[in-house]
Structure 1
Amino acid sequence: MSAAQEPRPRGRRWAAALIAAVLLAAGTVTGTGVAAAESNGGVRVMPLGDSITEGTQVPGGYRIGLWQRLAAGRYTIDFVGSQFNGPGSLGDHDHEGHPGWRIDQIDASVSGWLRTYTPRSVLLHLGTNDILQNYNVAGAPQRLSTLIDHITAAVPDADVFVATIIPLANSGQESAARTFNAAIPGIVQNKASSGKHVHLVDMHSKLTTSDLIDGVHPTSGGYDKMAAAWYAALQSVSGSIGQPGGGSSGGTAIKGVGSGRCLDVSGASQANGAQAQIYDCNGQPNQQWTPTASGELRVYGGKCLDVYNRGTADGTGVIIWDCNGQNNQQWRFNADGTITAVGANKCLDVPNYSTANGVKLQIWSCSGADNQRWTRAGS
């Protein structure tokens, strides 16, 4: 992307999205499909499940109340998924809720969705249709366990919140649901004990059958109870939704001394391979970098500043990539303001001493010149 093609500062784009949401508040947004246009560079959260995630009977479902709580808490969140629905009062309509789908059906597609959207957190409420369809109910806990394994394999740095399913009005189905739910704490504990970022959400106890509109799906009040439970769970796990005020935990801007512009991810992209560049400082999440004890510079929570293809030559490009602990993702801040790429032993460099918006960064033999010197916010 050339400098001329670089989007205007993302703060304006996000403000426009909020205005559009207000204008739509009286109506309902409908339709299905990829809705990446609502991406705002915030922490990616994937609502994953069946019609209760989609919001059958109350379009948008729990996502409405959850979005409103996140916005009120000043969290910058990007709901992600291939599906799209809900009212104008829901600021981001993307999700991965599929009415009528069982655990095995979600499992068949989940790895692809996760590779596409790379969520930082996943909200999983699934299993109701296994009960309703009487589909090998005894095997449902094992299917759920396998699904969780596939999620954690695809996005190992993500926090996965696994909910017990909400009550069902039919007594026989509710009995089966309780048996299924009883297995979930042990499944979650097993994953957590093996080092996976998996967390239990006791959703069943938050609703009663009086919160159901049709014996299966919640009323608007029931969905709001789900929203409150999800919000409390997310707040309890550090980093799962970043920090109030936007971005990922502990992020700060890094400004080029020579240019006066900030280290920035091109196009506010969260895709592997998105290029690092300099751009007008604007405080958005794609300019918030978190140094870690292992030498990483993290952005969006789970992406790292990376030297392309582990290159060591002058002129090798600098990108973002899933954090993996390799030395091409390790950086050292030096006393003279330079930042050394540890694997290549070369410096983060603005080519040709440029100061223009959108100039893509590289590594180069360290010289200490202004185009290789950087300052951190507050330093």
Structure 2
Amino acid sequence: MRARLRRLSACAAALVAAALLPSAPAHAESNGGTRVMPLGDSITEGTQVPGGYRIGLWQRFGGGGYRVDFVGSQFNGPGSLGDHDHEGHPGWRIDQIDANIVTWLRNTNPRSVLLHIGTNDILQNYNVSGAPGRLSALVDKITATVPNADVFVATIIPLSNSGQESAARTFNATIPGMVQSKVNAGKRVHLVDMHAALTTADLIDGVHPTAGGYDKMAAKWYDALRAVPGSIGDPSAPTGGRIVGVPSGRCVDVPGATTTNGTQLQLWDCHGGTNQTWTRTSSKQFTVYGTKCLDASGSGTANGTPVVIWDCNGGTNQQWNVNSNGTITSVQSGLCLDASGYGTANGTKLQLWSCTGATNQQWRV
């Protein structure tokens, strides 16, 4: 009986382990841009919020004019994430990443590597005192395999459990010195203090970030990458694209291709015309025709305020945040870009409305 129970337990453990491992990618996506490998565990994969920090990071790349190609053997995230490739492995420790890293690097040859690993060493209480040495050896293996890559090594984010957080802080305290030793040896290694970017209030389950927490990670990675010339290539001049309503599949459209100030925008079948071509600028504007901006009419901040075109003037009513949950919010009011009355038909007017989480406030940019 005991032998049978042991066999059953082993089978159950194998099934659990298989469930925790990420599935094989459907296919690799490439836009020919600068190759960046997001590398780590479930926090890289995006557990709880599929896509994780990669969503906000991808949006920042686009907004800044950077052409980046995420690389890795794994594949997941929402449709609004333009490139789903990554190397995030739920449940994996440093030693497990180390055992596979050379193959992954040789397959993809990244220009930059974003490394966030060590959380599972803490959670599994796996020879925690040896974790700093394992991390150092992993970084050495990365720099030896892709010596021309910039390697960004992050401290691990906070943990809600006080004992595990104490161990995480002890582990994190070793990372700056380790990184500096690599720099002194001429290696292209950079420290990213990710622990300082989040608090336990940013965690959804005590381990993984909320959508807002993941976006804080995205901002931290983006700032670190931009601080190292060439790590994500050079920004290009902004190019235009479409803003598409998620439930309708229709485009944000200037009716009749008019250029008249105050014209309220609408949904319309996408056709690629200049009246549906929007450019996201570094000033958080969406421009059309080169001179007109997406505008909250009359600087309105109330529900139902029409969203119109107007000469670009730099006002906050012409500034917009593109969020990881698919919403586009006015910087001035915090209200969402909204398809009136949950409409999906041609001619549905666009307005500002309190953010509700409904699909008529979700957009693909």
Length-normalised TM-score, structure 2: 0.58
Aligned-residue offset at 1:40: 1.1
Cα separation, partners in 2 of 1:138 and 1:170, compared to 1, 3 Å: same
Indicate the residue corresponding to 2:125 in structure 1. Answer: 134
Contact 1:32 1:85 in 2 (8 A): no
Q: 2:47 aligns with which of 49, 56, 66?
A: 56
Tell me by how many angstroms 1:224 deviates.
0.2
Write the deviation string for residues 201-230 of structure 1: whole angstroms up to 9, x where unpaired. 000000000000000000000000000000
Q: Distance in 1 between matches of 2:24 and 2:112?
A: 21
Look up the SS of the partner of 1:87 in the other structure: coil
Partner SS for 1:200: strand
Q: The residue matched to 2:208 in structure 1 has which SS?
A: coil
The number of equivalent residue pairs is 216
Kept in 1, the 8 Å contact 2:73–2:85? The answer is yes
Identity of aligned residues (%): 78
CA distance in 2, matches of 1:87, 1:157: 31
Give 1:236 shift.
0.1
Residue of 209, 212, 217 corresponding to 1:221? 212
- Contact 1:69-1:231 within 8 A present in 2 as well: yes
Q: Which of the residues 64, 71, 83 maps onto 1:92? A: 83
Q: Look up the match of 1:230.
A: 221
The match for 1:108 is: 99
Q: Where in structure 2 are the equivalents of 1:267-278 lying within 5 Å?
A: none
Letter in 2 for 1:120: R
- Check 1:75–1:69 CA distance in 2 against 1; reply closer, same or farther (3 A cut): same
| CA distance, structure 1, for counterparts of residue 68 and residue 74 of structure 2 | 17
Q: Is 1:190 paired with 2:196?
A: no
1:162-181 matched pairs, under 5 angstroms:
162-181=153-172
2:76 is aligned with 1:80: no
CA separation in 2, counterparts of 1:48 and 1:68? 19
Q: CA deviation at 1:36?
A: 5.0
Q: Equivalent residue of 1:215, what SS?
A: coil
Classify the secondary structure of the residue corresponding to 2:115: strand
Of 217, 220, 231 in structure 2, the residue corresponding to residue 240 of structure 1 is 231
Residues 1:206 and 2:193 are matched in the alignment: no
Counterpart selection for 1:124 from 115, 123, 127? 115
CA distance in 2, matches of 1:75, 1:214: 33
Write the letter of the residue equivalent to 2:88. G
Structure 1, unaligned runs of 5 or more: 1-30, 247-379
Once the two structures are superposed, residues 239-271 of structure 1 have per-residue CA deviations (whole angstroms, 9 ceiling, x without a partner) of: 00000018xxxxxxxxxxxxxxxxxxxxxxxxx
RMSD: 1.1
Displaced runs of 4 or more, over 3 A: 34-37
Asked whether the 8 Å contact 2:28–2:85 carries over to 1, the reply is no
TM-score by length of 1: 0.56
Alpha-carbon distance, 1:35 to partner: 5.2
Is the CA contact (8 Å cut-off) linking 1:206 and 1:229 kept in structure 2?
Answer: yes
Query: Mind listing any 5+ residue stretches in structure 2 that lack a counterpart?
Result: 1-21, 238-365
